[in-house]
Amino acid sequence: MKRTMRGNVEALDTILRAWSTGDRATMAAAARRVADEHPGVDTPSLRTALPPGWTTLGSVVHSGMASFADDVAAPNAPLPDAEIPARLAAVTEACVACHQTYRFTTAP
């Protein structure tokens, strides 16, 4: 789980750095990595342990990044630079809400 969260933050960092240089291919690839990583889907025991709200917020992150990846790399009408911060903020809003609400702990 922590690897997924760390990967999400690393991808966001990659997206922001790539945005600063206009590298949309790298932005799209980093967003696609987040979109395609679903720890709860691939791990049945984890999927059944997660609360529904967590799953909902995770879906917002993954679908938001998938949409962002598609839109930022669209050949005919790519996402305008001015809209990139708002699109990323919509995704990270779900990240913040999740981290404010849930804590993943393990038994000692």
Per-residue DSSP letter, 83: G
46 lies in some domain: yes
Provide the number of structural domains found in the chain.
1
Examine residue 53 and state whether it is found in any structural domain, yes or no: yes
Question: Whole domain around residue 92: which residue ranges?
Answer: 2-101
3-state secondary structure (DSSP) of residue 95: helix
In a domain? residue 106: no
Residue 108 lies in a domain: no
Q: Is residue 61 part of a domain?
A: yes
Confidence check: pLDDT of 41 > 60: no
50 is written with which tokens? 């997660």
Cβ-based burial of 90 (10 A; exposed 0-12, middle 13-18, buried ≥19)? middle
| 77 falls within a domain | yes
Question: Would residue 107 count as lying in a domain?
Answer: no
pTM of the entire predicted model = 0.82
- Count CB neighbours of 104 within 10 A: 11
Q: Which residue has the higher pLDDT, 5 or 70?
A: 70
Judge whether 30 lies within some domain: yes
Contact 95, 61 (CB under 8 A): yes
What is the tens place of the pLDDT at every residue in 71-104?
999 988 889 999 999 999 999 999 999 888 887 6
